[in-house]
Structure 1
Amino acid sequence: MPAPRMSAARLAAGLLAAMLVLLAAGLAAGSEGWSLAWADEWPLVSEIRAPRTVGALFAGALLGLAGALAQGLFRNPLADPYLLGSASGAGLGVVLVLAAGGLLGVTIGMASVGWLLRLGLVGAAFVGALAGVSLTLMLSRGAGQPLQLLLSGVVVGVLLGAVADLVMLVSPEALRGKQVFLLGTTSFLGWPSVGMLAGALAVGLPLAQRFARALDALVLGEASASSLGLNLPQVRLLLVVLMALATGTAVAQAGLVAFVGLVSPHLVRRCVVVTHGGLLALSALSGGVLLLAADVAARSVIAPQELPVGVLTAVVGGCYLMLLLRRRAGG
C-alpha cells in the first residue's frame, strides 16, 4: 500500500519546525561537545557556529532548488544539479588555484589558508562551475534539445575532470585541497559566505517560481507545452542559467555536497502531491533542512574531530535511493 500523503502546508510546517530545532542544535554543537551557555561563549557562537549553521541551511536550500529545477527540466527523477558540468568545472577551478599557489611558493592547506581560500578558491569554484555549464551549452548549441544538453554535460564533466587530474600530476600539492573540496565541507562558512548564499537564494527562488507553470507544462510533453505558447528553447536556457547560479554559488561555498539536490525533490514528492510552484519551494526548504542536519551530525558524531559533511549526505542519500529502488522493484 502506498504511504498516505499529507498536505503541502503540513509538510512545510514540519520542515520549518525541524529547521528551528536544527538551528538551535547548530548553535549548541561545538568541538568540545554540546553547550547551551550561549552568553558565555557568544564570540564563538556569533562568529563561527552561527554563520556556519545559517550558511549550511542556505547552501542546502540552493541545492534542493537546483535539483527540483533539473528534474523538471529533464523530466527525469534521477537528474541532479551537477549534470551540466558545474561540478567538474568547479573542481578544475579549485585545482588551478591550488596549483598556482604551489608554484608561487605558497603553502596551501585547507585548514590554514587565509585570503587565498576566501577569494581564490571560492571565486575559482564559482567561475569554474559557470564555465562548465557555459561549455556544455556551447557544445549542445543551446538548450533546445534536452538529450543533447544532457550528453554534452556528461562529455564536459569527463573532459574537465581529466584536465584537473593532469594538473594534479604536475602539482601534487593541489591534491589535498581538491580532496577536501570534493568531500564537501561547511567548516569555512562565514558571514560573507552567508551573504552570498542568501543573495543567490533571494534571487533564484522567486525567478524559479515564475517558471513553475512552464515546468508543469513540460511534464505534459514538449508538444503540449509548445501548444500552450511556450518558447521552449528560451525557457530551457533560462532554467539552465538559474540552475547554474544556484549550484555554482552553493558549490563555491560548501564544495561538492552529494545527493542533497537529488534527494530533496524525491522526499517532497513522496509526502505531498503539488505542482512545481509548491515543489520548488518545498524542495529548497527540504534541502536546507537536510544539509543542516548533516552539518550538525558531522560536528557531533566523532567530536572533537569532524566528518566531511558531503560524506554523510552521500551515505544517507545513497542508502535512501537504494531502499527506494528496492521497494519499487518489489512492488
Structure 2
Amino acid sequence: MSSGVAAPARPAAGARRRRAAAPLVAPAAAAALVLSVLVATTLGPADVSLVNVRDVLLNHLTGAGIPVRLSEDAIVWQERLPRALVAACCGAGLGVCGAILQSLLRNPLADPFVLGISSGASTGAVVVGVLGLGGASVGLSGGAFAGALLSFGLVLLLARLAGGGDRVVLAGVASTQLFSALTSFVVFAFADSDETRGVLFWLLGSLEGVRWDDVAVCAAVVALGLGACLARARTLDAFAFGDDVAASLGIHVARARLLLLVVTAVLTAGLVSVCGAVGFVGLVLPHAARFLVGPLHARLVPATALVGAVFMVWVDAASRVAFAPTPLPVGVGTALVGVPAFVAILLRRRGTS
C-alpha cells in the first residue's frame, strides 16, 4: 500500500518546487543572458578577453578613453557584439512567437513557421537576390520581409475562405508548400552556382555580416511584439482552454486571434528578414519555459524570451567557432540541438502523463 501512495507524490512535489522557483527563473535567465553575450563576444579566431570586451564597451558607452587596440575595438564593437545581440533578439522573438501560437492554435507542435511566413520570406529574398527585383535599395532583408507579409496575407485569405478557426494551420501548410516550390523554381531556373550558394546559406539561417542597424531593427520588433503579447497575457490564458471558454470570459475571439496572429507574423517576418530561416527555436523553447514557470503567459512569455535568447547566443557561438573559418549556418545548429531536445521533452511529457 505504501508504494502505491508514494508513486504519485513525487510529481506533485516536483510541481510544487517548480512553482516555488518560478519567480526566480526570469532574473536568473536575464543574468545568464548578459553573461552569455559577453562570453560569446570573446569567442572566435582572434584572441579577445572579457577585459577587452569591458574596455570596448566602456569606451563606446561612456567615453572612458581606455587604451584599446583598433583591431580589438573593431572585432568586439563592429562584429561580435552586434552578432550576439541579434542572435539574442532572434531567439527571444521566435521563442515568444512559438509560445503564442501554441496557445492560440492549441497545438503543441505549432511554431512561427506554421503560418508559412518563413517560406514566404525565403521566396522574397530569392526573388531580390537572384532576379534583382527592387534593386540594391531593397536587399535580401527587404525582399524577405515583403515575402513574409505576402505569405501571411495569403494564409489569412485561405483560412477565411475555408471558415477560419483552426484552419489557419492547414492554410499555413498550403502556403508553405506553395512558396517553397516558388523558391526552388527561381533558384533552379535563374540562379548560377555562386548565387545559389549565397541564397541557400541565407535560407539556412545566417548571422554573417549583421551590423548595429540590424540590432536596432530586431530589438525594436521584439520589444513591440513582447509588449503586445504581455498586454494580452490573460487572453492567451483563456485561449489555452478553447474558444468557448474565451468567449464566455468576454473575449472577442475572432478579433483577438487576428490581432495576435498579426503580431506573430510581423515579429517573425522582421526577424527572418535579418537572420534567415531559423527553425526549432519557436517549437522547443516554449515547452522548456513552460516546464520552468508553468502555463500562465504573464510568466511564460518573458521566460520564453529570455531562455530563447540564451539558447540562440550559444548555438550561434558554437556554430561560429566549431566550424571556423567557415561558420555553420545557425539554422542548422538550432536543428541539430533542437531535434534531440524536442525528443527529450516528448519523452518527459509521456513519462509524467
Please indicate, yes or no, whether the TM-score normalized by the shorter chain is above 0.5: yes
The residue identity in structure 2 corresponding to 1:77 is P
**Structure 1 residues 167 and 295: CA distance shift in structure 2, 3 A:** same
- The equivalent residue for 1:221 is 242
> Matched residues in 2 for 1:168 and 1:154: separation?
21
- The equivalent residue for 2:124 is 93
Is it true that 1:138 corresponds to 2:157 in the alignment?
Answer: yes
* 1:1-331 correspondence to structure 2 within 5 Å: 1-2=10-11, 3=14, 4-5=17-18, 7-32=21-46, 35-36=49-50, 37-38=52-53, 39-40=68-69, 41-101=72-132, 116=136, 119-141=138-160, 145-173=164-192, 174-329=195-350
**Structure 1 residues 67 and 143: CA distance shift in structure 2, 3 A:** farther
**Structure 1 residues 191 and 67: CA distance shift in structure 2, 3 A:** same
Deviation, 1:258, is: 1.3
Instruction: Name the SS for the 1:145 alignment partner.
Output: coil
Relative to the length of structure 1, the TM-score reads 0.90
Which of 301-310 and 154-163 deviates more?
301-310
- More contact order relative to length (CA 8 Å, sep ≥ 6): 1
> Matched residues in 1 for 2:295 and 2:255: separation?
25
Which of 271-280 and 77-86 deviates more?
271-280
Instruction: Name the SS for the 1:83 alignment partner.
Output: helix
Q: Which has the higher helix share?
A: 2
State whether residues 117 and 148 of structure 2, in contact with CA within 8 Å, keep that contact through their aligned partners in structure 1: yes
Relative to the length of structure 2, the TM-score reads 0.85
State whether residues 320 and 328 of structure 2, in contact with CA within 8 Å, keep that contact through their aligned partners in structure 1: yes
> Matched residues in 1 for 2:92 and 2:130: separation?
31
Instruction: Name the SS for the 1:75 alignment partner.
Output: coil
Aligned residues: 319
- The equivalent residue for 2:63 is none
Consecutive unaligned residues in structure 2, runs of 5 or more: 1-9, 54-67
> Matched residues in 2 for 1:128 and 1:250: separation?
13
Consecutive unaligned residues in structure 1, runs of 5 or more: 105-114
**Structure 1 residues 120 and 238: CA distance shift in structure 2, 3 A:** same
The higher radius of gyration belongs to 2
Which of 270-279 and 236-245 deviates more?
270-279
Instruction: Name the SS for the 1:146 alignment partner.
Output: coil
Report sequence identity in percent. 39
State whether residues 99 and 171 of structure 1, in contact with CA within 8 Å, keep that contact through their aligned partners in structure 2: yes
